């Protein structure tokens, strides 16, 4: 895991992880305010959490994970994620395809991604440093919340045991 100062800019280092989730994406290190405007236009991204959870990124990362696994898959199962012209390609070919191969991502959206994050291919989208930073921030928050949930469950269980023992 990267240090928080590697993920966010100097003005954002005092923010909690929860605050960062709802912060504009220019709080991510090396993301500029003009990039924020481009991504808002393309995907209505309002904050770091929106960027981390963008469905097109999840799809691209899934293709990358499949390719890394070396497993052979029938790409027709991805017809809801790819435009028709790209449905019959191999995973490797899909990763090298332009991002507008992803269903619902227009050529204009692809142009804006190119300008903002230098993303041209599906693989570029899966590996984009600002997106990976956003995902790490979100993952830290979700991990912390899971830990708090587990602690709450344990406290509840102990309280129940103590309550039953007094009966």
Q: What is the pLDDT of residues 145-159, one digit of tens each?
A: 554 444 555 555 555
pLDDT at res. 91: 94
Angle between helices 107-117 and 129-165 (to 10 degrees): 90
pLDDT at res. 77: 87
Domain positions in the chain = 7-137
Answer positive or negative: Cα dihedral of 87, 90, 91, 94.
negative
Give bridge partners of residue 28 from the DSSP assignment: 8
Q: List, for residues 108-127, the tens digit of each pLDDT value.
A: 999 999 999 999 999 999 99
Length of the chain in terms of residues written: 167
Q: How buried is 28 (Cβ within 10 angstroms: 0-12 exposed, 13-18 middle, 19+ buried)? A: buried
* 146 vs 40, residue with greater confidence: 40
pTM of structure: 0.82
Answer positive or negative: Cα dihedral of 136, 141, 142, 148.
positive
């Amino acid at each position: 895991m990267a240090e928080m100062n590697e993920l966010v800019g100097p003005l954002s280092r005092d923010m909690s992880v929860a605050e960062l989730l709802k912060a504009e994406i220019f709080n991510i290190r090396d993301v500029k305010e003009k990039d924020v405007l481009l991504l808002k236009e393309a995907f209505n991204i309002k904050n770091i959490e929106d960027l981390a959870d963008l469905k097109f990124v999840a799809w691209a990362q899934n293709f990358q994970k499949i390719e890394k696994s070396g497993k052979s898959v029938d790409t027709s199962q991805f017809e809801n994620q790819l435009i028709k012209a790209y449905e019959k390609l191999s995973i490797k070919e899909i990763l090298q395809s332009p991002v507008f191969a992803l269903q619902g991502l227009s050529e204009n959206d692809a142009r804006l991604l190119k300008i903002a994050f230098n993303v041209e291919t599906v693989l570029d989208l899966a590996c984009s440093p600002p997106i990976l930073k956003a995902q790490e921030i979100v993952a830290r928050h979700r991990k912390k919340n899971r830990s708090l949930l587990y602690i709450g469950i344990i406290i509840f269980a102990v309280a129940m045991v103590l309550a039953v023992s007094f009966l």
